[in-house]
Amino acid sequence: MSSQPKLRILLTRAEIEAKVDKLAAKIRRDYLGKHPVVVCVLKGSFVFTADLVRRLNFPLGVEFVQLSSYGRGRESSGKIKVVHGLQSPIEGRDVLVVEDIVDTGITISFLMDYLRKKKPASLKLCVLTDKPSRRQAPVTIDYLGFTVPDKFIVGYGIDWDEKFRYLPDICVLED
Ligand code: IMP
Ligand code: MG
C-alpha cells in the first residue's frame, strides 16, 4: 500500500441514510411494545448504532462490547477475545446486536454464542455491510443493510488501522 491510499466511494452518505431509515422502520415494527437492549460492537459500529437508535426512537438500552480480532493488518487473526463486556445483565431481555461488517463471520458468531449463553429472551443481529463471499462461520443476519464485494472498505465508523472512520461515505480502499 502506498502512503496515499486511494479511496473510491462505494456507498454514499445518502444511500446509507436511506438504508438506515428502512432498517429502523422494520426494527420498530418488530420490537413494538418491547424494550430491547441494543448491543453496539465497538469500535466500527459506533456511527451506525448512533444513527440507528435515533431513528428507532423508542425506549431501549444501549450496551457496548469490544472484541479483539483484527490486528493492525487486514486479515482476521481468528482468535477472538472480549476486551470490553456488557455492563448490565441481558438475561430475559430482547437483545439486538449492531455490527458494521461481517466478513469471515468468525467475530460475530463468537459474539452471538457469547451473548446466547447469557440467556436473553431473544437475540437478533443487525448488520450494515456483509461480505458473504468470505464466510467461514455460519451467521444468521436478521436485518441487513448492504451486501458488499470482497474489497476492503472504510468510512462511516469502519477503519483501516484506525484511519478513515470519520468519512461520511463508505469507500473502497484501493492499493
Ligand atoms: P470477521 O470475523 O472476518 O467477520 O471480521 C469482522 C470484523 O473485521 C469487522 O467487525 C471489522 O472490524 C473487520 N473487517 C472485516 N472486513 C473489513 C473491511 O473491509 N474493512 C474494515 N474492517 C473490516
Ligand atoms: Mg466490527
Question: Of residues 140 and 73, which shows the higher confidence score?
Answer: 140
Q: Tell me: the pLDDT tens digits for 86-126? A: 999 999 999 999 999 999 999 999 999 999 999 999 999 99
Average pLDDT over the chain reads: 93
Q: Is 152 in the pocket of ligand 1 (CB under 6 A)?
A: yes
Count how many Cα atoms sit within 13 Å of the Cα of residue 69 in the half-sphere of its side chain.
23
- The pLDDT value recorded for residue 77 is 59
Catalytic site includes residue 113: no
Q: Tell me: the pLDDT tens digits for 9-19? A: 999 999 999 99
Q: Is 65 in the pocket of ligand 1 (CB under 6 A)?
A: no
Report cis status (omega within 30 of 0) of the bond before 163: no
Q: Tell me: the pLDDT tens digits for 57-95? A: 899 999 999 998 655 455 555 689 899 999 999 999 999
Task: Give the residue whose CA is nearest to atom 10 of ligand 1.
Answer: 101
What's the rounded Cα separation, in Å, for the pair 18 and 157? 17
Task: Give the residue whose CA is nearest to atom 17 of ligand 1.
Answer: 152
Element (H, E) at 97: strand 94-102
CA-based radius of gyration for the chain: 16
Closest ligand to C-alpha of residue 41 is 2
- The pLDDT value recorded for residue 72 is 47
For the cut 50, the answer to whether the pLDDT of residue 46 exceeds it is yes
- Quote the ligand 1 centre to 130 CA distance (angstroms): 9
pTM summary value = 0.94
Q: Is 153 in the pocket of ligand 1 (CB under 6 A)?
A: yes
What's the rounded Cα separation, in Å, for the pair 94 and 119? 10
- Quote the ligand 1 centre to 171 CA distance (angstroms): 14
User: Which of these is catalytic: 51, 94, 100, 103?
Assistant: 103
For the cut 70, the answer to whether the pLDDT of residue 1 exceeds it is no
Task: Indicate the pLDDT class of residue 4, thresholds 50, 70 and 90.
Answer: confident
